[in-house]
Amino acid sequence: MRKLIINGKPIEAPDGATILDAAKHAGIRIPTLCFLENREPIGACRVCLVEVTGARTLLSACSTPVSEGMEVKTNSPRVRAARKQVVELLLSEHDGNCPVCDRNQDCELQNLASELGIREIAYEGEKAKARIDDSTPALVRDNSKCIKCRRCVTVCSEMQGVGALYPQGRGFDTMIGPAFTLDLDGVACVQCGQCAAICPVGAISEKSHIESVWKALEDPTKTVVVQTAPAIRAALGECFDCEPGTLVTGKMTTALRELGFDAVFDTDFAADLTIMEEGTELLTRLKKALVDGEEVPLPMFTSCSPGWINFAEYYYPQFLPNLSTCKSPQQMFGAVAKTYYAQKIGVKPDDLIVVSVMPCTAKKFECGREEMNDSGARDVDYVLTTREIGRMIKEAGIDFMSLEDSKMDAPMGLSSGAADIFANTGGVMEAALRTAYEIVTGRSLPMENLHVKPVAGLEGIKEASIKIEGAVSDWSFLEGVTVNVAVAHGLGNARRLLERIKNGEKSYHFVEIMTCPGGCIGGGGQPRFTDDSVRLKRINAIYAEDEGKTVRKSHENEAVQQLYKEFLGAPLGEKSHHLLHTHYHEKDVV
């Protein structure tokens, strides 16, 4: 421990802590821009300058370690003036117009300017030329707003192991982006949107579908239904200044009705359906391997996360046969809505518009994949991020916080708690185990409150082993078998796990991979700013939602049972195969 003094206050901080750590711990705020938790400080922005007695210059708090007896001032006139200068310089080179910017009222640069009391910009800086990159289905980049903090570079290469963004060129002309002056579609970006979630300003954002959705809602010839992913209910409140982790399922449902959607449904319904298909697929693969002695690709990987699918197609094509052939819940929902539900209400698939609300930008990419038209029309028409639906609710003048709760519509709004936890890392695995274990043994998963604790939480790679005991006769070949599973979230962790599997260090039966850290609750389309404490709060809210449900297992969802009875037949049956399953292709990295 080191003793130091910050703003006259004696403080203790562990060895190796930075001034920023120490201050944060003592409840003293130092503004930052380029700093990211759990990462090496880059020291690019100089916003975190502080005065250290005895030091000639001001030092950046994020990268200066504390030392014994250090005296720090975080708020002296000299510090304030320097910080102001730093931010004024950033603003002078920044080509933005706040009132019409996507990030207005949600911008770290704007907040800093206001916090530091900047009223005029004393410099006339050379501004970067605006170059809009809207080459991909999910994201829009605007270099002229980039302040070169490099947060996106760190996130894309270290957290996601992709490395699509990197500083190009040098000096003032440096641009943060894909190779040379290529657009994002020129490199192997997986569309996860983690860069958009971490960008402090309006330089990377999702490609908006808001206008198209308003148009659809106003079109009297269309029936417009909406599905909301499980992760939305634990995050949307943040768009309306709620604490992270506030569940707003009921208000969200009411708000969607007020926006004019003809039916408010739940991606949860399709998550339950996914478990039926994917669970059956897993058990079938295991049977083939253990009984028929066939060569089947194991471990089986989950396939709900489109960024992960892209990642596998680019970087691990050898594992494509291991991916579950199940479409993601979003796409299953679309395919079922435009067939089963459309028939039920007597609407032509072409006249039914399916809108998704997703925590994810890659879902915008996914809904445009050419394989996703099995209903005869495009299965999902538009995808809104959590941030976009928040904006639409505001645009409509709805006072979200004073809305009454309401319930989602039948049949595709009914779901189990197992579906809710699809939002969390480890959740798909837990949901699958709840059902698969019960199919095989006829008994509930023997774990407290049905939770598979070892695969929950923010650890990057998690493992669990479950021994099958008392298998029913159909599945007796699994008697005594220990099923090994693993879970990774964040593609950097996925890469580490895949390497271990590739070189034979580890072997599993079933592996869950989610693109974003924390799972969908930490998706690239969620309210900013997401750090680990926010992730944990959303994760806990999702578990609470699950525990509050009367039905906690996917196979007990009566609406899904009815769907099989009336329409699909059996899991992995012919109709399922056609509507709910897909295939993948290798893509070139460069």
Partner 1 sequence: MVENATCNCACSEELTEEEMILQLDELIGEYQNKPGGLIPALQIVQSRFGYLPESVLKKISRDFGKPYSEVAGVVSFYSFFSTVPRGKNMVRVCLGTACYVRGGKEVLASVKKELGIDVGETTENRQFSLDVGRCFGACGLAPVIMVNDDVHQRVKPSKIGELLRAYAISEEGVTQ
| Least distance between ligand SF4 and beta carbon 34 (Å) | 7
The two structure tokens encoding residue 537: 């709060």
Q: Per CB under 6 A, does 232 bind ligand FES?
A: no
**Residue 313 known to be catalytic:** no
Work out what residue 47 binds among partner 1, ligand SF4, ligand FES, none; the CB cut-off runs from 5 to 8 Å by kind.
ligand FES
| Least distance between ligand SF4 and beta carbon 104 (Å) | 5
| Least distance between ligand FES and beta carbon 61 (Å) | 6
Q: Per CB under 6 A, does 250 bind ligand FES?
A: no
Q: Cα separation of 432 and 279, whole Å? A: 6
Q: Which of 152, 156, 304, 367 is labelled catalytic?
A: 304
Q: Per CB under 6 A, does 194 bind ligand FES?
A: no
Nearer to ligand SF4, 166 or 567 (CB): 166
Q: Checking DSSP bridges between strand 223-228 and strand 461-467, what pairing results, if any?
A: unpaired
Work out what residue 44 binds among ligand SF4, ligand FES, partner 1, none; the CB cut-off runs from 5 to 8 Å by kind.
ligand FES
Site mask, ligand FES, residues 19-38, x = CB under 6 A? -------------xxxx---
Work out what residue 180 binds among ligand FES, partner 1, ligand SF4, none; the CB cut-off runs from 5 to 8 Å by kind.
partner 1
Nearer to ligand FES, 43 or 65 (CB): 43
The two structure tokens encoding residue 470: 């008392």
Work out what residue 559 binds among ligand SF4, ligand FES, partner 1, none; the CB cut-off runs from 5 to 8 Å by kind.
none
| Least distance between partner 1 and beta carbon 160 (Å) | 11
DSSP 398-413: --GGGPPP--PPTTTT
**Residue 366 known to be catalytic:** yes
Nearer to partner 1, 171 or 293 (CB): 171
Per CB under 6 A, the segment of 40-48, 195-203, 446-454, 493-501 that binds ligand FES is 40-48
Q: What angle do CA 253, 258, 263 make, to 5 degrees?
A: 60
**3-state SS string for 172-208:** HHCEEECCCCCCHHHCCCCCCCHHHHHCCCCCEEECC
Q: Residues in the site for ligand SF4, rule: CB under 6 A? A: 94, 96-98, 101, 103-104, 107, 109-110, 139, 145-152, 155-156, 160, 162, 164-165, 176, 189-195, 198-204
Q: Per CB under 6 A, does 47 bind ligand FES?
A: yes
Q: Which of 60, 205, 303, 324 is labelled catalytic?
A: 324
Eight-state DSSP code of residue 143: G
Work out what residue 35 binds among partner 1, ligand SF4, ligand FES, none; the CB cut-off runs from 5 to 8 Å by kind.
ligand FES
Q: Cα separation of 513 and 160, whole Å? A: 12
Q: Cα separation of 317 and 451, whole Å? A: 32
Q: Cα separation of 312 and 297, whole Å? A: 15
Q: Per CB under 6 A, does 18 bind ligand FES?
A: no
Across the strands, what pairs with 352? 223
Q: Per CB under 6 A, does 46 bind ligand FES?
A: yes
Q: Do 141 and 132 meet the contact criterion of CB atoms below 8 Å apart?
A: yes
The two structure tokens encoding residue 423: 């939002």
Work out what residue 145 binds among ligand FES, partner 1, ligand SF4, none; the CB cut-off runs from 5 to 8 Å by kind.
ligand SF4
**Phi/psi at 225 (nearest 5 deg)?**
-110, 155
Nearer to ligand SF4, 110 or 557 (CB): 110
**Residue 189 known to be catalytic:** no
The two structure tokens encoding residue 290: 């253990």
Across the strands, what pairs with 332? none
Q: Cα separation of 89 and 45, whole Å? A: 11
| Least distance between ligand FES and beta carbon 63 (Å) | 6
Q: Cα separation of 63 and 1, whole Å? A: 18
Q: Per CB under 6 A, does 45 bind ligand FES?
A: yes
- The length of the chain, given as a count of residues: 590
Nearer to partner 1, 91 or 195 (CB): 195
**Phi/psi at 520 (nearest 5 deg)?**
-60, -25
| Least distance between ligand FES and beta carbon 231 (Å) | 29
- Cβ count within 10 A of residue 535: 24
Across the strands, what pairs with 142? 132
The two structure tokens encoding residue 205: 């954002």
| Least distance between ligand FES and beta carbon 535 (Å) | 21
Nearer to partner 1, 178 or 230 (CB): 178
Work out what residue 179 binds among ligand FES, ligand SF4, partner 1, none; the CB cut-off runs from 5 to 8 Å by kind.
partner 1
Cα-Cα-Cα-Cα dihedral of 107, 111, 113, 118, to 10°? 140
DSSP 252-320: HHHHHHHHT-SEEEEHHHHHHHHHHHHHHHHHHHHHHHHTS------SEE----HHHHHHHHHH-GGGG
| Least distance between ligand FES and beta carbon 66 (Å) | 15
Question: What is the footprint of ligand FES within residues 58-117 (CB under 6 A)?
Answer: 60, 62
| Least distance between partner 1 and beta carbon 185 (Å) | 13
**Selected binder of ligand FES within 21, 26, 43, 288 (CB under 6 A):** 43
Q: How far is CA 155 from CA 138, 194, 590, in A?
A: 17, 7, 20
Q: Residues in the site for partner 1, rule: CB under 8 A? A: 157, 162-170, 177-180, 182, 187-188, 589-590
Helix, strand, coil % over all residues of the chain, rounded to 5: 45, 15, 45
**Residue 304 known to be catalytic:** yes
| Least distance between partner 1 and beta carbon 55 (Å) | 30
| Cis geometry, peptide bond prior to residue 178 (ω within 30 degrees of 0) | no
Nearer to ligand SF4, 190 or 298 (CB): 190
Work out what residue 589 binds among ligand FES, partner 1, ligand SF4, none; the CB cut-off runs from 5 to 8 Å by kind.
partner 1
Please give the residue ranges that form the binding site for ligand FES (CB under 6 A): 32-35, 41, 43-48, 60, 62
Give the residue numbers marked as catalytic. Answer: 278, 281, 304, 324, 363, 366, 371, 520
